[in-house]
């Protein structure tokens, strides 16, 4: 494929969101719904003629320059948007915090002194700072839903396999999805109208997963209730309080199944490269790779069987007519100097929240709010597989119908 034309990337990046090798821009190749908009790209997406770093300098040094461009990037350029650079990701997208030991931590302008969240850290930070109109990210275990909550922007985890993952560095192929952030609902919707297929989904039932609500800090209580009240009024239904899990199972068992199966997939993809090149990873990410290496074939198969059961179960709960309201994360964005133990405890609670959608492969939209102190929190709508565009329109309709704190 011919290398896309480019111009010089603006040097001014006050929030440190761009990677050194990502300082270039590419003008729109066509005209359409995104005319005049700008977007940044997480550094796991290939751009022809440029290297893909995946958040790690050893990866950057040991992989060839991309010869093809992600189809999603091509779609956005063809619809009139201009790409303004490649931005930081947590190493190989294997984290939720947003601090990269090699490239730094992008500034969270909506929560100063706090991390932006990962692994789509540069994407969410650039959107929050309004350096671009929207940004491409990814979500495997929560890497769009959680940063959207931490930074106070709109975010979507797409239905698994709905968007092409060609020419994107994978992590867990059974759970990886490609996503985007936007700082306003109109732009968020316009991107969806370009990338997503039409959806005729009309929700008739509303679910309140009580166990998931209880995982979130008190900061989420008011916006959760606001969204619940607004959606009940919009749909003319009363929410059903329920649990996603079956009586004999816990969310921790679900998380363990997700982690084990994902780790096995990640090691199958990248284990040989890690053993050959011995890259330097941060302590938490290094520990995850060590766990991945230790997963046995029997453990992986057991986890895969459990994941298949959970997927069927969650999809049956939603069927083709229900949405659920949940917190997008379990707490506020951690402080930059927060202890490792505290960050890990929050990550575990958040994974209990995010694993059900990750496993089941359905879609989730995060709506931005703030707590009483002005710190961002996110509330999400979960919809059946393939309902992405209809779910976006429902979520943005909610935003119009009530005051966001």
The residues that are catalytic are: 42, 119, 143
Distance CA 220, CA 377 (A): 7
Distance CA 400, CA 83 (A): 29
Tokens of 272: 């040989």
DSSP 3-state of 317 = helix
Whole-angstrom Cα Rg for the chain: 20
Residue 405 near residue 221 (C-beta atoms within 8 A):
no
Pairing of strands 205-209, 322-327: parallel
Produce one character per residue of 367-386: b if its CB has 16 or more CB atoms within 10 Å, e if not.
Answer: bbbbbeeebbbbbbbbbbbb
Angle in degrees, 0-180, between the axes of helices 71-78 and 185-195, rounded to the nearest 10: 110
Q: ω before 119 within 30° of 0 (cis)?
A: yes
Stated as kind and residue range, the H or E segment containing 364 is strand 363-370
Pairing of strands 363-370, 154-157: antiparallel
Distance CA 238, CA 232 (A): 6
Alpha helices by DSSP H, 107-249: 121-128, 145-151, 185-195, 210-215, 221-235
For residue 315, the Cα-to-chain-centroid distance in whole angstroms is: 20
DSSP 3-state of 308 = helix
Question: Looking at 64-220, which runs of residues are DSSP E strands?
Answer: 82-87, 134-139, 154-157, 177-182, 205-209
């Amino acid at each position: 494929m011919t290398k896309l034309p480019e111009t010089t990337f603006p040097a001014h990046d006050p929030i440190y969101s761009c990677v050194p090798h990502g300082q270039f821009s590419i003008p729109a190749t066509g005209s359409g719904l995104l005319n005049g908009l700008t977007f940044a790209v997480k550094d796991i997406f290939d751009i022809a003629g440029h290297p893909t770093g995946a958040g790690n300098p050893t990866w950057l040094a040991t992989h060839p320059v991309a010869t093809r461009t992600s189809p999603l990037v091509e779609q956005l350029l063809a619809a009139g948007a201009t790409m303004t650079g490649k931005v930081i990701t947590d190493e190989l997208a294997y984290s939720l915090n947003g601090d990269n030991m090699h490239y730094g931590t992008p500034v969270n302008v909506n929560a100063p002194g706090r991390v932006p969240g990962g692994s789509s850290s540069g994407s969410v930070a650039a959107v929050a700072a309004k350096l671009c109109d929207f940004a491409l990210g990814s979500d495997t275990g929560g890497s769009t839903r959680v940063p959207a909550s931490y930074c106070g922007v709109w975010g979507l985890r797409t239905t698994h396999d709905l968007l092409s993952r060609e020419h994107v560095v994978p992590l867990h192929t059974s759970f990886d999805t490609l996503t985007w952030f936007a700082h306003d609902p109109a732009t968020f919707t316009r991107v969806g109208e370009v990338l997503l297929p039409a959806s005729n989904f009309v929700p008739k039932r509303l679910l309140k997963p009580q166990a998931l609500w209880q995982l979130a800090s008190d900061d989420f209580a008011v916006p959760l209730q606001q969204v619940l009240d607004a959606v009940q009024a919009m749909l003319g239904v009363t929410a059903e309080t329920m649990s996603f899990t079956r009586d004999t199972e816990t969310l921790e068992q679900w998380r363990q199944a997700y982690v084990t199966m994902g780790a096995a997939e990640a090691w199958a993809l990248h284990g040989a490269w890690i053993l050959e090149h011995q890259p330097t990873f941060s302590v938490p990410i290094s520990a995850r790779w060590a766990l991945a290496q230790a997963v046995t074939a029997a453990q992986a198969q057991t986890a895969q069987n459990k994941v298949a059961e959970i997927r069927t179960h969650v999809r049956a709960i939603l069927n083709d007519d229900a949405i659920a309201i949940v917190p997008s994360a379990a707490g506020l964005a951690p402080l930059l100097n927060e202890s490792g133990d505290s960050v890990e405890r929050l990550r575990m609670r958040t994974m209990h929240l995010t694993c059900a959608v990750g496993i089941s492969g359905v879609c989730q939209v995060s709506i931005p709010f703030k707590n009483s102190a002005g710190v961002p929190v996110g509330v999400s709508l979960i919809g059946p597989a393939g309902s992405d565009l209809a779910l976006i329109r429902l979520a943005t309709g909610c935003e119009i119908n009530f005051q966001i704190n």
